[in-house]
Amino acid sequence: MEIWLNPACSKCRTAAAELDAAGVAYTVRRYLDDPPTAAELGAVVTRLGLEPWDVARDREAREEGIDLPRDAAHRDTWLAALVAHPRAIQRPIITAADGTTVVGRDEASLRRVIGAEG
């Protein structure tokens, strides 16, 4: 399992604590220090069943000047913009060994990904 997190984020700390409590082994990726490539982010977004703009933090995206149409024609541009400005990516993103991927901001999402490991 891998968790993309920002250690300053309370939701990220909560998610890591829940993984610890469940006894799940995981790898931490501090995505602000080690941003994903466009291909990695694209794969994650696809596993989530979302589009890049769906995993953008609206306030941070605006602050970073990301103001793009939310359509298929701009998908790659969105991916490139989020990779260039990773603080605009929603967090934490957790991927289980079976490929189950969630934005772990709520208990139900965390249970889903923890269950995928068991």
How far apart CA 38 and CA 117 sit, in angstroms, is 26
Please give the residue range of the domain that contains residue 34. Answer: 2-117
pTM greater than the 0.85 cutoff? yes
Q: Could you report the average pLDDT of every consecutive run of 10 residues in the chain (118 residues)? A: 95 96 96 97 96 97 97 98 97 94 93 84
- pLDDT for the residue 66: 97
- pLDDT for the residue 86: 97
- pLDDT for the residue 117: 75
The CATH number of residue 77's host domain is 3.40.30.10
- pLDDT for the residue 4: 97
- pLDDT for the residue 118: 63
How many structural domains comprise the chain? 1
Q: Are 2 and 92 in contact (CB under 8 A)?
A: no
Query: Distance of alpha carbon 10 from its chain centroid, rounded?
Result: 15
